[in-house]
Each structure stands twice: as structure tokens, then as C-alpha cells.
Amino acid sequence: MPGTFDRSRGRALTREVSPLYAEAVSSYFNTRTPDYEAARGSQEAYFAALRAHGTEVVTLPALEGFPDCSFTEDTAVILDDRAVIPNLGHPSRDGEQDSIADFLADDFEIARMPRGATLDGGDVVFYDDRFLVGLSTRTNREGADFLAEHAKDSGVGVQLFDVPASTLHLTTVCSSPRPGTMVAAEGHLTEADLSFAEEVIWIPEEEGYAANTIAYGDRVIMADGYKRARELFLDAGFSVTSVEMEEFREVDASLTCLSVFIG
């Protein structure tokens, strides 16, 4: 069935936090210098949460010279047996994808984006029969079109969104935890944006960071410390695991940024 591959979470490709983490790109949430040791601790908790849900976590060493290298979601989009490898949209991050492509080449056909086209995997949300693709400061139309071409071969459509200036990536403000369902942050997306969804769990704007989730059936992993969002997930029939994410939030990163699911 087209698209089922994207909800299977057998294997996650991740990367250690960079020792240069204090220099990670940070444009939205930054209130202080990010802390490498604290980020490493949170990353371990994140890995444990994935493993507890049955995911095999594959972790590559930190990539020299790339402070944001632990955000592997941005470096590949998996479509069945093909990996679309983008040009990342921020100059300090472009290049992270090369060693990811090398790693994936054993198991996937690699489709490299042409020069000039850019896309961050963080602008791609899988929903049932389609990818929601955000056009943003990182993802341009050429990048979205390149992904759409390859998605079509796998029977998956693409629906474009304009990512609001209030946020970095599409995944920063929404996710799809189960078929038919979207979780979205109020104040960033509108009911009209998500009119295709059977159910939308709206997270109040002040807790909007919690709209980024990783789900396994009716079990959801969310960022720790968002009480109202937690209640909303429980009311919607999910059981909840929380991971402390403050150190990643400082650099505009969310739960999904820390992995790309490859099986």
C-alpha cells in the first residue's frame, strides 16, 4: 500500500551531537548558548524512547565542522527503496547529507537533488496518501518539485504549504501521529490549511512546540513539559511518553529532527 513505509519505524538513522553544538543555527527560540553536554543527555533519553517502542537506533559519529549534524531528518527523505537526498537550505548545513547518502547507498537507490534546488526534510510531513511539503526559508519550489517527482513514482502525492514566517520548518508546527489525524499548533496553521484531515488536534499556541510528535500506533512521543498538549493527546486516545527537549528547542529543533526513519 503506498505510503505505509513511512509509518513503519523499524530503524532510525541518527547522529551524535556535534562538539560544536553551541554554534548550531538558532533563529527562533534562542534564549541562551546551547549546551553540548545537556543536549547529549537529552539525545540519549530520545534514543531510549525510540528503542522502548521497538526502533533500532543507528548512530553515526558527529560530523566534523557541522554543528547541526545531529538533525538527520533534514538530510534524506525515504520513499520505499529510494532515498531522496536534498541540498540543505542553510549554507552552514549543506554538506551534512553527503555522508548520509554514502551510508544509505547500501540499501537504497540514491536520488540527488540538482544544484539550486533545496529542501530540508524538516519541511516534509507524511500524511496517509501524501507528503505535506513546506516552502520555507530552507525549501524552495525546485526542491519540492524534485521530491514530488520521486514521490509520484511511489504513489504518494505532494501538497504544498507556505511555511509561515513564524516558524522554521513545517514539522516544527505539525505532525501526523496516525492515519487521518494531524496535530497542529494554533497561530501558525489554519483550519483551511488542514481541511483534508479527518481529525486535527489543535495545540494552543503557547504550547505549539508540542505539535511535533513521533507516534507508534496509538502511542505518542512528545516533548516534556507541555501539560495542556499532553491532556489533549490523552483525550484523543494516545498513551504518552515525554522526552526533555529544551536543549534542542534552543536551536529550533524538535523530536522528529533527530532521526530519519529508514526501515
Give the residues lining the site for ligand GLY (CB under 6 A): 24-26, 68, 71, 90, 93, 251-253
Minimum Å gap between C-beta 142 and ligand GLY is 19
β-bridge partners, 189: 186
Which of 175, 188, 246, 252 lies closest to 215 in space, CA to CA?
175
Give the 3-state secondary structure of residue 169: coil
Cell of 217: 500506533
- Closest residue to ligand GLY, based on beta-carbon distance: 25
Q: Closest by alpha carbon to 35, among 54, 22, 24, 49?
A: 22
One-letter amino acid at 201 equals I
φ, ψ (nearest 5 deg) of residue 12: -120, 130
Strands, E assignment, 43-142? 56-60, 77-79, 82-85, 109-112, 124-127, 130-135
Nearer to ligand GLY, 5 or 71 (CB): 71
Could you give the CA distance from residue 9 to residue 7 in angstroms, rounded to a whole number? 6
> Of the two residues 77 and 253, which places its CB atom closer to ligand GLY in the complex?
253
CA distance 101 to 46: 23
Instruction: Please state the closest distance from residue 52 (CB atom) to ligand GLY, in A.
Output: 26
| Alpha helical stretches, state H, 89-214 | 96-104, 141-153
Residue 72 vs 181, nearer CB to ligand GLY: 72
Nearest to ligand GLY of 60, 236 (CB atom): 60
Least separation in angstroms between CB 28 and ligand GLY: 9
CB of 113 to ligand GLY, least distance (A): 17
- Residue owning grid cell 510528535: 213
Residue nearer to ligand GLY on the CB measure, 172 or 213: 172
Nearer to ligand GLY, 24 or 173 (CB): 24
Look at the block and give the residue holding cell 553540548: 36
Closest CA to 260 of 214, 205, 199, 224: 214
CB of 67 to ligand GLY, least distance (A): 8
Q: Tell me how far apart the 2 most distant CA atoms of the chain are, in Å.
A: 46
3-state secondary structure of 87: coil
